[in-house]
Amino acid sequence: MATQIQRSNQTQQQLLAATERLLAEQGYAAVSEARICELANLTRGALRHHYPNGRYDLLPVLVERLIARQSELIAAAQPQNPLERIYLMLFGLLDAPIQSDTVAILEVWMAARGDAKLGERINPIMNSAIERLFGMTSATPADPDALALRCLLHGACMHCYSVDYDRNALVAAIQWVLEKLPPPAGFVERLQMEQAA
């Protein structure tokens, strides 16, 4: 009954969602076409139809979408420099300490080291992500504060898989940082004004 385009979009969406879940919950090494299809209730025929080269076609699309989604969320708050962007993401971590999309990106990024073919296709996207997410261009070197908080952000995202993970403890840790290293003056106020508008 559904149009072909709708069908296509839906199965692609299911495949991407299943892959994201696998990446976030089980890690890259646990990602196989069979498992993706099992989770998506599809067959490898469907996967290979939409992504002829398997993960090498699927993962770039997935990562691209995850970055696009994140990037739009950030852009909505109209940050004016890299530092403000990082603070936005840290705020996001307070609401949802388990950031499965960020974890998925990190997993693919780390896995691409050991797979040249994957690196070829992922690294350009990762490169663009630096600018689209963090607003850092290769021309202007990163400020120490922005880079430090970026490291903190990534470490915090991974922490939810630690054996001693405690949601409240992690939130308290981020809050402690936000208190000791507060965002640029007036930033929070501007956010609230934009929210109201």
Task: Show the DSSP H helices in the chain as ranges.
Answer: 4-26, 33-40, 44-50, 55-76, 82-95, 100-111, 116-134, 144-159, 167-180, 187-196
- Out of 16, 23, 28, 55, which residue is the one contacting DNA (CB under 7 A)? 55
Provide CB contacts within 8 A for 127, sequence distance 6+.
138
Q: Choose between 42 and 106: whose C-beta lies nearer to DNA.
A: 42
Q: What is the DSSP letter of 98?
A: -
Q: Choose between 35 and 65: whose C-beta lies nearer to DNA.
A: 35
Which parts of 4-33 interact with DNA (CB under 7 A)?
A: 4-5, 7-8, 10-11, 31-33
The item of a second copy, DNA, none sharing an interface with residue 165, based on CB under 5 to 8 Å by kind, is none
Rounded to a whole number of angstroms, the minimum distance from the CB of residue 192 to a second copy is: 25
Please give the Cα distance from 15 to 187 (Å, whole number): 39
Q: Choose between 11 and 100: whose C-beta lies nearer to DNA.
A: 11
CB 112 within 8 A of CB 52: no
The item of a second copy, DNA, none sharing an interface with residue 65, based on CB under 5 to 8 Å by kind, is none
Q: Which residues bind DNA (CB under 7 A)?
A: 1-5, 7-8, 10-11, 31-35, 41-46, 48-50, 53-56
